[in-house]
Structure 1
Amino acid sequence: MSTEKKHKVKNIFDDISGKYDLLNHLLSFGIDKRWRKKALKLSGLNKDSVLLDVACGTGDVAIEAKKFGVEKIVGADFSHNMLSLFNKKSKWIIGNNVQMVAEQMPFKDNAFTNITVAFGVRNFYDIQQGFNSFYRVLKQGGKATIIEFKMPKNKLFAALYKFYFKRILPTIGGFISGNKSAYTYLPESVEEFDVKVDLIKLLQNSGFRKIEVYNFTFGIVQTIIAEK
Structure 2
Amino acid sequence: MSRRLPLAQVLLAGLASLSSCQSNDAPGSRSPADLRAPGEVIKEQPLPATSQPDTSLPAAFTRFTDALRQADTTALNGLIEPAHGLWILEQPGALPLLTRVGDIRGFRRENQQRPFFSLAAELMPCLRPEPVDTLPRATCDGRPGNEAGFARLGCLLAPHRDAGLNGIWPHATLRGGTVAQGQAALARISHTVLQTRSGFRFHWARTAQGWRLVLVDLRIPCSA
Superposition TM-score tier, normalisation by shorter sequence: under 0.3
Larger helix proportion of the pair = 1
| Bigger radius of gyration among the two | 2
